[in-house]
Structures are given as C-alpha cells and as structure tokens.
C-alpha cells in the first residue's frame, strides 16, 4: 500500500523533487520508488563528464544508481515514467524499466508495470500507485475452487499467461564479462590497476606481472564460484515436465511451463514420486506428500480437499489443502471411482512457495560488516598520506633537477606504497583457508563473508526440537481420565484393554501412512501408534463392503484377545474415514472413524491440552487438570490430550461429510493425557557451557509450550539454576466503561502453580536479586513489537526463552537483537527457521535438505556442537584479517617513509632491490598470516571488529613511529661515518648511482618487514601461536637467511646487481643488523605485551566501563541496573492507551482456568506447588515426598518451596531419583561474607531485600535445593535438631562433582518453633566454604551464582 493519503497529493509528489513513494508498507518487501524520464540536456552533460574523467565517472555510476538517475534523467510522475528508481528495505538501489502490456480484451487500455526482484508491480489507475500483483487466490472463497469443473477457456488462458507469466522459475545467467566488470569495479581492484600501470611505466615488469596474475586469479575464482553457484541453483530449480489439465471441458496434456492460475490439474497417484510444478489447491481426493524440500523434515504431510463453503481462502491458514511447488506425491486416493486427484492451480513461477525461497537466495540480505567498511575508510585515510607524499616527492625531484618523466613517475609511484595491491588477494586467501578448515569439520559455507561475521557473535539462538533435543520423541506413559477424574497412570499404553477409549484414540488419531510397507508420519504419531501394538494397513480401493463407505486406512488390535490368547481375527478394527490434519492455528488434529460392525461414527481428537480442555465438555475435565498438566510440563515433558465423541447414530456418511470441522469437534469427552519425553542431545549441554564460558548469550526460540521450553532451558544449562525466570505476558485489554483499549503486561513465574501465585507471590515480588531472565510466547512478543518497542528491547536483552514462536516471529526476534547492537547466530533444522537463518549474522542449518540453502552455513553434524568451532573459526579469520591488513599497511609504510627519505636526495631503490623485497620477503606473509589455525577454546572476550578504532590505529601508528625512528637513526649514523661519501645525482640515469644511504635504508626496511610479520601475526587468544604455523615459520627462516646473505655478500657482481655501495668496514653492517633487530624486538614487545597484553586485557576494559554506553543493549543494561525493583513478580505494566487516551483501566481478573482445588485422596502424586494444607496431613501417609518449586532436572535435583500442599489425586509416573542417607551432624553456623564486585562481569547483581523471609531467599540463591519430609522417630524430640549434612549428587554450575551440603530445619509458619510431629528439611545445599575459592564464596552467598553468560 502507498503512504500517500489521496490522489491529488500523489500527482503533486510526482511533479517535483520530492520524497519517494512507499509501497508494500504492510508487507515484507517494503520499497520506495521514484519515476524518471530521459532528459537530453542532462545526458549530454553526463557524457561530457565521463569523457573529462577518462571514464572514471562510470565506476561511480555503477556503484550508485541514484546518482546515475539524477545525472541522466529527470523526475516525473510515476504514471509517465520510463525508468523507476527502486530502493528496498536494505537501502539497495535498483534501476527498473517501466513497461506496458495488455492483459484483457483489445479495447482495454494497456497496464503499466515494472519488475523488481522477480516480483511484478502493476499500476492501479484508481489509486494512481504501483501495487504488487495479487495472487489468484487472494480474497476468494473456498467454494469458488469447485465452481468451474470444465476448466478455463483459451481466452482466459491467454490473458492469465500474459498477466502472471510462464510457470517457470527463471534463473538469469549473467554473461561472464558482466560479472568480471562488476568484480573489478571494487575500489581495491581499481587501485591495483593504477599500480600496475605506474609500475609498467617504470619498467618494473616482474612484480607488475605478479600483481596482475594474482588479481586475475582472485577475480577469476570469484567469478567462477559465483557462476558455479548460479549454475547449480539453475539445475536444481529447472524441472521440465508435462501435466494433465482440464480446459474447455476436456483433458489435455501440456508442458508445465504453460500452467496458469485457475487451471484444473489432474494428478495420477499411480505415477512414482510425482513432483508438483506449481502451487495448487486440492479439490478432489486425499493424498500424502513429501515437503522436505521446503521444510527439511522428511515425514509425510496429509492433504485434504478444500471445503465447499463460503470461508475466505487464506494461503497461510489453509496449507493443509495446498500442494506446494517442489514437493512430491507419496500416496494418493482419488474420490470415488475417479482415476485422478484434482487440484486448482493458484500460483506459478516466483509467486509459489518454492519461488519465494529461490528469491531469498538470489537477493539475500546485504552483509553490513563493519570491517570492510572500515577497510575502505582507512585506505582513504592512507591515500591522503599518499597525496602528501606525492606533493613532497614532486618538490624534491624538482628541487634536485629531475626531468619531467622522473618527476611524474616518482610522484605517482609514491602513492602505490600506502595501499598494498596484494591486500584483496590476501584477504580472499584468508577466507578460503577458513572455508577449507570448516569443510574438514563438516561445516559447509555458502557465503564466505559470513565467516568473519561469525567471529563477532555474542548471542546464539537455538531452535528446540531437533536442535537442542532429539528429533524423535518417546512415550513416557499415559494418564486415563474417566468420569472427570484422573485414574492410575499407565506406563505402557498397550496394557490398557482393547476397548479402552484412550487406547483406541491413540491407535486412530494420527496421520500415518504406509508407503512400500514402510510406516511414515510424524515422530509423535509413530511413537504413539507403536505403543499400542495395533496393526495399520491401507484400505482397499473403492467402497469397503464391511463399512459401506471408502476406508482409506484400517487399524486393528493385535491378533490376540484381552487374555492374550491367539485368534485368527482382530477383536477391534477401525476404519479411518476422514482426517483433519494438525494445524498450528488450532493446535489439534481430528479423525473420523468407524468401528467395524457399528453403525455410528466416532470422532477422535488429539492436541494441546489447553485447547482440548476448552473444547471438551466441562464435566469431563478434572478439577485439578491444569495443576497436573503443569506438574509434567515444568519438568520438560510434552503432554498431549485426547478426546472422543460419538456422533448421532442417525447421521449418515453423506451428512457427516457436509459438517464443518467445528461441528464435528463440538463438545467431546476428555479421555486422557499422553506424557511424551524429548531427550536432550548428548552434545547440547557441553556446547551450551562452552558458549557461556565465552560470555556468549544463549537463547531458545521454539514453537513448543512455554513451561516445557523453560524446563528444557534449565536442563541444558541455558538458564542458570539460581536465575529467576520471569514470564512476560502481554495482552490487549479492550475498551470498557473504565477506559480506552490499552496494552497490559504481566510478570509472573512460568513454573509456579496458580495456587502459589495467588498465595505467596506477593511476598516474593522483589526477590530476583537482579539475576533474572525473561521468557515470553510469540503472541506477547508480537504485541510488544507492535505497541511497545522500548519494553520489547528490555525483554529481548534479558530474554532467554521465546516459545510458541511462528517463523515470522523468529525473524523479527533476530532483527530486534541486531537492532540493539547484537551480532546473532541462529541454529535451526527446519523450514520454519529459514527466514531467521537468512537474517542472522551466522545462520547454521542442521538439515541437508534443499531448504538449507537459505542459510550461510550448513552442518553435516546434526547437533549444536558445530556452533563453538564456527565462532572460533570466525574469530581466527577476523584476527587473521586484522593481522594481514596491519602487516600489509605496515611494510608499505616502512617503504613509504624510507623511499621518501631517499627521494630527498633524488635516488630510489633499484628494480632488483624491489624484486628481492617483493618476492623474497613481502609476498609470502600476505598469504601465510591467514593460514593461522584456531585455538582449542573460546576466549570470553570477542576480538576487535573495527579497524577504525583506537587500538588498531594506535598499534599501527606506534609501530610506524618506532620503525621511522630506526630508519632515522640508521640515516644519521651512516652520515656520521668518516668514510661516508655524499650521493651524486645524475638526472635521467636508471638505475641511479649507488649510495650508502640506499644500502643502509634497504637493509633496515627489509628487517622491519620481517619484524612486521611477527608483530602482526595472529596470536592467542584468538589463534594459535605463529610458531605453530609451519608455513609461516619456514618463510621466516628462509627470509632471514636471504636477508643475511644480501647484507653480508660482498661479491662485486652481486653488489652491482643489487646497486649497493658496500661499506668499507663489515662492522658497520653488523651495527645496522643489531639496530634493526633491537628496533624489531622493541616493536614486538610493545605490540604483544603492552598493547595486546596490558592495554587490551586490563586498561581497555576499565576504560570501557567509564565511557558512555555505545550500543543500545549497553544502555538498556545500565537502565535495568538503575531499577533494581523492576520488574515485580506478580506485577504489571500498563502502556499508554492504544487509542491515545490517557485513561486508567482496571486490570481484568486473572485467568482462573489454571487454579484448581485440591482433592483429598490416598493415591496422590508429588505436587509442584505450595498449598494451604497442614504438614501433618501430608506426612500422615508415611511417604517421603520431593517437590519442585522452580523446576528440576530429571534424575537431578528438586527445589523446595516455602509451603507444602496436598498432592494431586493420582499417582505420578516415576520421574525422580530419591535422596537417601540423611545423617545428622553438628551445627554449622552461617556467616555471610560481605558483597564484592567482580569487574569482569557485565551484570551487577543487587543484594536481596532484607525484609524477605529466609525461606524465600533460600530458593533464590542455592545451586541445589532439596526438600524432605519424614515422621519423627523419637516422640520426645520436641525441638528442631541442629543442622545436618547430606550427600547430594550435585549438578551445580560451580562443580559437577559430589559435595557436602549444609541444611537447616525450617517450620512452615515459625522457624523458631518447629512442628512437633515432623521435620521439614528445607534449605539450600551447597558445597562447604572450604571447597570454594574466596571469590566463589562471596559470589555464592551474595546470590550471584556462577559466572554469568554475559
């Protein structure tokens, strides 16, 4: 949509220089466009300017399309424009041609349009604006797909062919010369061309040819890789074939390129692996397709025919009816006795889902890497120095009487010293070495520039399922529900009777298919069905006589009865008649089935527990349903609810087929829960810990349940156990009599039960000690993104878990993190992560499917162990790039200063001196420095990423200063010798007469060049020592031997060849060698120990703390530190009214759906929430109970709450390992140490409020917390015994080994007067102070916990 309010304003805008017109403001491809027409006067002046600048202006016009349009064209209204200047959301300019076409009858006017990034934009004559061409399926009803069974006529086909184009994803192969011209338009290559011309004019052909050869190799390899990538993409995209369509009522076979939207496509399910060449809506029959090309997940997807109703068709909502381009048919079942499946084509070419994926590859997000921008800026700065040197050179040669040729050539030559011509090739080689090392680690890079970007990553985002956890999921057990009450949990689903509704629902409610006798489907469906031990077969073709209708699939009980006696036929058999596949929008799936022999039909429903409970009859939902649900979800288990419904026996199958999904699913009976276990991958926890030790934040971005995600984040150490997790819940409060509509934000504990929130949360509002993190779902994230960007920045800065995130939410999160100054890595394994992988600075795909091409990196190892090596490799590459640049500039400036000193007496080094220096000393380090290998660990600090910063510039200029001092000392020392003879200048002589100054300075410059390689070579902590670089050390040894030979060989022929003037005393040469080595040693120590050591490691971090925050996230952190009382648990923030009205609104009553009353009973499970009942009632059963307060690890530890509550009335699936061997020990006093500040940590945690009861504080600061209850064995024991010791299997971040724990007995009401009947052992367990260092003791007792990730 356009940003212009009316038509009149649009016309005015187009008539003068004005702001560009915005289109697609509501979409992802936001553009700004301006119209232009050719202006002859401007064209003539522009051509003249190009001639006067000898064609150099053309290079600027290639870089800047906007300048080109301004020079050759004039602005005009868009409806009259012949050229359109387009600026996309990344700031990239495109020059597009405005064209005309006729899509309708001959009498209709032609339509104006332009194409940008393969998307067509047409002129709307009503609004006078360009709009994106709407797809055929936009704003139409589902019923319309069934209204034209005879297909299109030829006139419609021709019009739509003209309007939408051919059904072909065209990959335009640019000519090789075009790619070469674009590549050499790089500023560095242009400077290389200038250098080659100047050196050729000076007859220095050797190095000129070398530079020309390396340039050609670099340009050729870049062009080859780009063209190779495009050819591979074209082969992958180009799929030729034919299709059967219905046109004018007859079936015709046409080429797939001739398909147009609206065609009725006939699909033969008997064809093996039929691929689809367009996006089409299924209208007849059902099928299963493989969408791994788009999703990266290889399970089949069931497609259903689009319903014949008046519902508006939406592409994103009705995906279950769409056959996507690039996917393959696995199995199909035509309707009735038909031969074909039928589908209506809705999108072709680049408008399809596959076309959008290819567009993202062809037009990726531009890489804004600061290093390369700084490279250009620093080069420009050095060119300024070169211009100064040019002026000085011209002055000295004129003063000394040089001829015109010498003045011009030497003045132009001095500029070639300030920017090394070999630098582009050296940086390319550095990246190539990194790519090869990554390939050896099974990490494949599609965009080499992202390697250096990965070195600056400070936030790593991870998908959960398939990335942190295993893709497969296991069934831990089932909990039946009957008559609105939970029954005894069942570890094995197959132990239920065959007639049990929960078993029958698990056997029927799925989307499994069988292809080539192989069961295919979702992992959850496979595990669930396998647990039933039932049989699955494809139904017979046509009508099944046993059911009277078609039965696509049949499931049956095992061939034995309930007594496990063998039988010839199954006891129970169901025909699966119709499936409603799972949809993320409704979070459930449904199957209509009929049991063999029954006349009525059954409906089985499976989905998210919250959704199913709302759908079911309230009478069938247990009163403690949500409490039991949270009991499992906070422990990381995935819970699925199942329901059943029996349809009216009088309903016929034809009547049921006409029912809507809502009617079919209305008011079912809740029959049970399935508890699924999704294990962490074994590589997850070590990889997360490595990133935390490197101070890299880790974030989980998943589509799973929030409580499950938080628990998994705790299990994998993504969230510290002593860190408070605060859930951010944003809701829109509608307008009422109390005020206008506004945004309300609540802050709660996601792992606390409703009773705990209602009863004790008020006492704990301030208990987070500054050590907290946020968790939120996708809906809250989207509301904050739209309505409160400032609060969103705070939440994502401290955010750890983002659950229920849609693909677009993941992309927005990455963009929001980048906006506040973070460099983000994203790791995912499916199509729903593709947009985030493309947006991230380092996107890593764990899938080798076609969808992975959207990510810069693809790991063959499908776990997150690849993240740390990639970041480490990126840091090494970045450090090597810095070293290569500083070395190249350093040696060039050494020669720049030395040659200027020689120019003062009108002499210059000879060609052979240049040859020795270029080929023997300088050229090899350009490529060997980048051969540095990464270390075996990640350093907590990121390397420098900006050349235009104090430390790199200070390092370079101080090195140049020390080397200049060495050259000056050598110059004056030479002049002070008694045998010194002044140089005699002869104009026009080449090579010039030898001189002592030339010999001395060449030796010192050569020594300085070798020293520069050691000074700027990559070194720990971001690379291994340069001594481990074998190629580099071989060069260093060879260059040293060569230099010694050059300095001390006095053979007349060699001296004449070098154009040296040998000093009469060899002691002089020794002094020059010692001078050069002394200066080099001082420079090496200055760089390695002062700049990279003391300044970088100690001074610079402290200066950074003193100066104002530069990045947005640093400002946010400073603001959060200044507000220790925000956020308050159980509190809320109310934003300004969304209707811009400053009215206070009463908050709505909290959702009581999660609150449930406890019911007494004998069979109860451990509760995860505190409650209101007496401890005597609980302990009276003689059980030892362990409770969870903030969440726990399976088989690890539990955390106590301030109170205890009666258990839920059903037995729990065994999840915990009990703590035993409790022994009483003498009292140990607790004397807290004073708080200390650790300057290495970014976060400064705040002390606990002294007014909070101690039992609450113990739950906040301990790495391990245990709660145990037991009856007193001694009835005379009236008082609480002293503290005791207990051996606990600790999984604390402080240490993984076992340790002694200190506990204290606390009563639920009064710690000084404990309950006389029970002991409540509830205090933190930590290692003894003797096991900890002093800093660890202070941090632990102050509630700081382990080393933070930031």
> Which amino acids are annotated catalytic?
463
Hey, how many other C-beta atoms are within 10 angstroms of the C-beta on 821? 16
* Residue in 1274, 1275, 1266 with CA at minimum distance from that of residue 1306: 1266
Phi/psi of residue 1078, each to 5°?
-65, -45
Identify whether the C-beta of residue 466 lies closer than 8 Å to the C-beta of residue 1188: no
Rounded to 5 degrees, φ, ψ at 753 are -80, 160
CA distance 276 to 289: 10
Helix axes 789-797, 807-819, angle to 10 degrees: 90
**Helix, strand, or coil here: 773?**
strand
Handedness of CA 683, 685, 690, 695 (dihedral sign): positive
**1052 vs 990, 1060, 1072, 1198, CA distance in Å?**
19, 10, 21, 87
- Do the Cβ atoms of 1305 and 1249 come closer than 8 Å? no
Give me the DSSP letters along 853-902.
GGSSEEESS-SGGGHHHHHHHHHHHHHHHHHHHHHHHHHHHHHHHHHHHH
- DSSP H or E run through 252: strand 250-255
Give the count of beta carbons closer than 10 Å to the beta carbon of residue 1124. 15
Collapse the DSSP code of 917 into the 3-class scheme (helix H, G, I; strand E, B; otherwise coil) and give the result: helix
Q: Give the distance, in angstroms, between the CA of residue 1132 and the centroid of all CA atoms in the same chain.
A: 31
**Which residue blocks in 441-500 are alpha helix, DSSP H?**
449-454
Residue pair 801/719 in contact by the 8 Å Cβ criterion: yes
Cα→Cα distances 946→594, 952, 1207, 1271, Å: 68, 8, 59, 66
Exposure string of 645-681, with b = 16+ CB inside 10 Å and e = fewer, is bebeeeeeeeebeebeeeebbeebbbbbbbbbbbebb
Q: Where are the alpha helices (DSSP H) in 25-78?
A: 40-52, 56-63, 65-72
Read off the DSSP letter of residue 635: T
Neighbours of 1014 (CB within 10 A): 20
> In Å, what is the CA distance from 619 to each residue of 478, 615, 662, 1099, 1160?
20, 12, 20, 69, 19
Rg for the chain (alpha carbons), in Å?
38
Beta bridge partners of 347: 279
**What DSSP character marks residue 231?**
H
Spatial separation of the C-alpha atoms in residues 636 and 179, rounded to whole Å: 53
Sheet holding 1284-1288, edge to edge: 1222-1223, 1284-1288, 1299-1303
HEC sequence for 973-1013 = HHHCCCCCCCCCCCCCCCCCCCCHHHHHHHHHHHHHHHHHH
| C-alpha dihedral, 497 to 498 to 503 to 505, nearest 10° | -150
Residue partners of 1081: CB distance under 8 A and separation at least 6:
none
């Amino acid at each position: 949509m356009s940003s212009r309010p009316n038509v009149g304003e649009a016309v005015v805008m187009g008539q003068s220089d004005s702001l560009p017109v915005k289109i697609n403001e509501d979409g992802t491809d936001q553009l700004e466009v301006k119209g232009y027409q050719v202006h002859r006067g401007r064209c003539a002046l522009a051509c003249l300017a190009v001639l006067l600048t000898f064609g150099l202006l053309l290079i600027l016009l290639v870089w800047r399309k906007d300048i080109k349009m301004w020079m050759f064209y004039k602005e005009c209204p868009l409806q009259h424009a012949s050229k359109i200047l387009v600026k996309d959301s990344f700031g990239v300019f495109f020059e597009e041609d405005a064209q005309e076409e006729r899509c309708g009858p001959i009498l209709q006017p032609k339509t104006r349009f332009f194409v940008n990034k393969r998307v067509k934009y047409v002129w709307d004559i009503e609004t006078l604006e360009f709009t994106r061409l709407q797809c055929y399926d936009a704003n139409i009803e589902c019923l319309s797909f069934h209204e034209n069974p005879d297909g299109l006529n030829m006139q419609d086909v021709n019009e739509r062919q003209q309007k939408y184009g051919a059904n072909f994803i065209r990959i335009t192969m640019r000519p090789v010369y075009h790619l070469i011209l674009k590549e050499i338009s790089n500023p560095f290559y242009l400077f290389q061309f200038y250098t080659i011309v100047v050196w050729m004019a000076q007859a220095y052909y050797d190095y000129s040819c070398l530079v020309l050869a390396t340039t050609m190799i670099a340009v050729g390899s870049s062009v080859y890789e780009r063209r190779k990538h495009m050819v591979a993409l074209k082969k992958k995209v180009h799929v030729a074939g034919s299709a059967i369509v219905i046109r004018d009522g007859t079936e015709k076979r046409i080429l797939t390129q001739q398909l147009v939207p609206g065609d009725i496509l006939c699909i033969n399910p008997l064809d093996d692996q039929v691929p689809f060449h367009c996006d089409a809506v299924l209208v007849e029959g059902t099928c299963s397709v493989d969408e791994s090309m788009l999703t990266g997940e290889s399970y089949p997807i069931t497609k259903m025919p689009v319903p014949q109703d008046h519902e508006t068709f939406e592409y994103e909502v009705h995906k279950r009816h769409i056959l996507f381009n690039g996917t393959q048919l696995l199995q199909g079942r035509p309707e009735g006795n038909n031969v074909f499946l039928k589908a209506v084509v809705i999108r072709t070419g680049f408008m399809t889902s596959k076309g959008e994926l290819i567009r993202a590859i062809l037009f990726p997000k531009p890489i804004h890497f600061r290093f390369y921008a700084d490279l250009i800026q620093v080069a420009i700065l050095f060119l300024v120095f070169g211009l100064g040197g040019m002026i000085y050179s011209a002055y000295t040669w004129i003063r000394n009487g040089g001829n015109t040729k010498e003045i011009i050539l030497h003045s132009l030559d001095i500029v070639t010293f300030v920017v090394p011509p070999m630098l582009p090739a050296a940086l390319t080689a550095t990246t190539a070495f990194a790519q090869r090392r990554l390939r050896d680690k099974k990490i494949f890079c599609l965009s080499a520039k992202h390697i250096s970007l990965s070195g600056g990553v400070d936030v790593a985002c991870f998908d959960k399922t398939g990335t942190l956890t295993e893709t497969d999921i296991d069934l831990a057990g089932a909990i039946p529900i009957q008559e609105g009450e939970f029954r005894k949990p069942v570890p094995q689903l197959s132990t239920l009777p065959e007639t049990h509704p929960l078993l029958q629902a698990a056997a029927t409610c799925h989307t499994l298919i069988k292809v080539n006798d192989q069961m295919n489907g979702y992992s959850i469906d496979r595990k669930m069905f396998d647990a039933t031990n039932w049989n699955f077969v494809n139904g017979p073709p046509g009508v099944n006589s046993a059911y009277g209708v078609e039965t696509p699939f049949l499931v049956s009980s095992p061939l034995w009865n309930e007594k496990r006696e063998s039988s010839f036929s199954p006891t129970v058999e169901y025909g699966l008649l119709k499936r409603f596949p799972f949809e993320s929008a409704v979070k459930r799936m449904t199957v209509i089935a009929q049991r063999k022999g029954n006349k009525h039909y059954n409906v089985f429903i499976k989905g998210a527990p919250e959704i199913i409970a709302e759908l079911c009859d309230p009478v069938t939902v247990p009163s403690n349903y949500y409490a039991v649900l949270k009991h499992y979800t906070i422990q990381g288990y995935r819970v699925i609810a199942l329901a059943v419904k029996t349809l009216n026996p009088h309903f016929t199958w034809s009547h049921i087929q006409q029912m809507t999904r809502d009617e079919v699913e209305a008011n079912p009976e809740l029959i049970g829960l399935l508890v699924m276990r999704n294990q962490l991958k074994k590589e997850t926890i070590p990889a997360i810990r490595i990133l935390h030790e490197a101070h890299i934040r880790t974030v989980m971005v998943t589509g799973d349940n929030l409580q499950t995600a938080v628990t998994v984040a705790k299990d994998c150490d993504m969230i510290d156990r002593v860190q408070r997790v605060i859930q951010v819940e944003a809701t829109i409060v509608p307008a009422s009599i109390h005020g206008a509509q506004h945004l309300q934000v609540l802050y709660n504990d996601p792992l606390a039960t409703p009773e705990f929130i209602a009863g004790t949360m008020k006492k704990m509002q301030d208990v987070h000690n500054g050590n907290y993190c946020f968790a939120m779902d996708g809906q809250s994230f989207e509301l904050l993104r739209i309505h409160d960007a400032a609060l969103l920045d705070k939440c994502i800065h401290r955010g750890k878990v983002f659950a229920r995130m849609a693909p677009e939410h993941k992309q927005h999160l990455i963009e929001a993190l980048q906006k506040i100054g973070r460099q983000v890595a994203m790791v995912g394994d499916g199509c729903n992560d593709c947009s985030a992988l493309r947006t991230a600075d380092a996107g890593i795909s764990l899938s080798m499917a076609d969808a992975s091409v959207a990510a810069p990196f693809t790991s063959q190892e499908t776990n997150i162990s690849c993240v740390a090596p990639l970041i480490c490799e990126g840091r090494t590459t970045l450090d090597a790039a810095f070293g290569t640049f500083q070395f190249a500039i350093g040696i060039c400036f050494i020669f720049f200063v030395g040659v200027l000193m020689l120019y003062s007496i009108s002499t210059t080094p000879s060609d052979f001196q240049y040859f020795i220096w270029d080929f023997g000393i300088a050229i090899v380090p350009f490529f060997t420095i980048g051969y540095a290998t990464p270390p075996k660990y990640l350093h907590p600090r990121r390397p420098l990423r900006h050349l235009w910063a104090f430390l790199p510039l200070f390092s370079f200029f101080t090195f140049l200063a020390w080397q200049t001092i060495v050259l000056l000392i050598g110059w004056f020392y030479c002049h002070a010798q008694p045998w010194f003879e002044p140089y005699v200048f002869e104009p026009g002589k080449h090579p010039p007469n030898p001189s002592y100054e030339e010999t001395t300075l060449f030796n010192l410059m050569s020594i300085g060049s070798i020293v520069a390689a050691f000074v700027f070579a990559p070194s720990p902590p971001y690379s291994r020592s340069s001594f481990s670089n074998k190629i580099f050390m071989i060069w260093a040894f060879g260059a040293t031997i060569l230099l010694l030979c050059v300095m001390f060989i006095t053979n007349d022929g060699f001296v004449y060849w070098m154009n040296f003037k040998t000093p009469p005393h060899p002691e002089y040469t020794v002094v020059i060698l010692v001078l050069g080595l002394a200066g080099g040693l001082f420079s090496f120590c200055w760089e390695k120990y002062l700049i990279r050591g003391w300044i970088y490691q100690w001074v610079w971090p402290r200066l950074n703390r003193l100066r104002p925050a530069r990045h947005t996230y640093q400002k946010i952190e400073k603001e959060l530190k200044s507000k220790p009382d925000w956020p308050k648990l159980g509190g809320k923030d109310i934003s300004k009214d969304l209707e811009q009205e400053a009215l206070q609104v009463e908050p709505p009553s909290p959702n009581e759906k999660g609150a449930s009353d406890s019911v007494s009973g004998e069979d109860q499970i451990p509760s995860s929430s505190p409650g209101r009942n007496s401890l005597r009632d609980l302990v009276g059963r003689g059980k030892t109970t362990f409770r969870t307060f903030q969440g726990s690890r399976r088989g690890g530890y539990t955390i106590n709450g301030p109170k205890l509550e009666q258990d839920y009335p059903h037995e729990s699936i065994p999840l915990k390992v009990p703590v035993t061997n409790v022994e009483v020990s003498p009292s140990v006093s607790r004397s807290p140490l004073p708080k200390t500040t650790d300057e290495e940590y970014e976060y400064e945690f705040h002390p606990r409020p002294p007014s909070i009861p101690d039992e609450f504080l113990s739950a906040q600061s301990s790495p391990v917390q245990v709660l145990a209850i037991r009856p007193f064995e001694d009835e005379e024991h009236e008082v609480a015994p002293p503290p005791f010791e207990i051996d606990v299997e600790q999984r604390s971040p402080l240490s993984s080994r076992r340790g002694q724990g200190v506990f204290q007995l606390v009563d639920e009401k009064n710690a000084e007067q404990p309950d006389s009947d029970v002991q409540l052992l509830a205090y933190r367990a930590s290692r003894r102070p003797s096991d900890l260092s002093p800093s660890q003791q202070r941090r632990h007792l102050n509630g700081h916990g382990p080393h933070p990730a930031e």
